[in-house]
Structure 1
Amino acid sequence: MEWMLMPLRRYADFQGRSRRMEFWMWQLFKILINFVFTILLMVVGGGAMALAGLERGGEPGLAAIGAGTILLYVAYLILMLAIIIPDIAVSVRRLHDTNRSGFWLLAPIATYILVIVGLLSQSRAISGIGLILTLVAAVALLVFYFLDGTAGDNRFGPDPKSRGNEEVFI
């Protein structure tokens, strides 16, 4: 649990490096949050469906459950907005651990601009190239997240594994 919450303790810290464990446990934490909210929304939404089937004239019950669903979804959106900064920060620090700039996070966005240009100019070729480049950039980021960090110090700070200059066995 400590690894899952570490990005929250380093909320807006874009300096330094983060280990794979910190990054992937944070991703797992976000998946668990999504799972819990999905289950809650299914339970509340399922209650609305059950009321719709049982009460043919009972709109007040449906309205109350609908309002509950909306409030639950708003709470989910607020939580996702609250954790977007630590999410970006841990991604930048993970890239730093592999001795890459945090600007790599912009690669899929930059290539997606080609898709928008292609759509605006009604050019399928430009849109297709943009989609392919966006996919390549996203896969490259995923590969960078899986790579082991550089052993020892790099330009972004000391090794979070504190391996120093000793020999590393994988």
Structure 2
Amino acid sequence: MDFMTAVKTVLGKYATFSGRAQRSEFWWFYLFSLIVSAVLQMVDRALFGTLVGGQDVDILAPLFRLAILLPGLAVGARRLHDTDRSGWWLLIALIPIVGFLVLLYFFVQRGTAGPNQHGADPLAGR
């Protein structure tokens, strides 16, 4: 799956927590959100600058992050489904540092071959 296909797929399944997502779909969307967020952060700095108290004024980047929160959670749950885990494992991210590392380990793992309890293999057509 290429970059544009991954982004379109994730945004097309905006709040779909069922099914499976291949690694490329998850990581391309993550890269997309990182790049757009960084660009919007720079636009915020250029347009709005800082307040008198030295605080940065950020409007666009936080709005974008809020807009992609739900699809980000959905693709994360679908990625966990591909490794035959429940989407509820996303809650482990609430544990500082350790939760992030555990999720990172889960996200980089290869998905289960063939169908599992969460649906058909997204790579079955290849």
Alignment of 1:57-136 (within 5 A): 70=57, 73-109=58-94, 112=95, 134-136=96-98
Q: When you count helix as a share of all residues, which structure comes out higher?
A: 1
Report which structure shows greater RCO (CA 8 Å, sep ≥6).
2
Normalization by structure 1: what TM-score?
0.63
| Structure 2 gap ranges (5+) | none
**Hey, what does 1:25 align to over in structure 2?**
28
The structure with the larger Rg is: 1
Identity %: 38
- How many angstroms apart in 2 are the aligned matches of 1:163 and 1:149? 14
**Hey, what does 1:35 align to over in structure 2?**
38
Residue deviations 1:37-93, cap 9 Å, x none?
122133235xx58xxxxxxxxxxxx99xxxxx84xx323322221111100000000
- Two-structure CA RMSD over aligned residues (Å): 2.3
**Hey, what does 1:139 align to over in structure 2?**
101
For residue 141 of structure 1, give the secondary structure of its aligned residue in structure 2.
helix
Given that 2:41 and 2:61 are in contact with CA atoms closer than 8 Å, whether structure 1 keeps it comes out as no
> How many residue pairs end up in the alignment?
120
